Amino acid sequence: MSINLERAAMRGRLAELQEEAKRLRLKIEGNATAIRQGLNTALTPVDDLEVPQLSEQMDNLVMAWAELQKVGSDIARLERELR
């Protein structure tokens, strides 16, 4: 594969990763908002908190955050290679 084709492939992969990062940020924001609202004891009495659901949302947030860290690392690596 020629250098130009390799660089084009790297730019394509970079664009894919940047889109994935956007998607993950939206997912994280959605989970964080849901958790924040679910834990608002001014609106929901403590006895009525849906802790199992909130725990699942927190697990989803943690997994998405970990994925975002990996994607961010891959983006940085490709950006360095494309300089």
Predicted confidence band at 1 (pLDDT cuts at 50, 70, 90)? low
Give the residue extent of every domain in the chain.
Answer: 3-82
CB–CB of 71/17 below 8 Å? yes
DSSP for residue 2: -
**pLDDT score for 53:** 98
**Helix, strand, coil tally for the chain in percent (to 5):** 85, 0, 15
**pLDDT score for 13:** 98
Q: What is the mean pLDDT of residues 8-24?
A: 98
pLDDT tens per residue across span 27-65: 999 999 999 999 999 999 999 999 999 999 999 999 999
pLDDT tens per residue across span 17-35: 999 999 999 999 999 999 9
Predicted confidence band at 14 (pLDDT cuts at 50, 70, 90)? very high
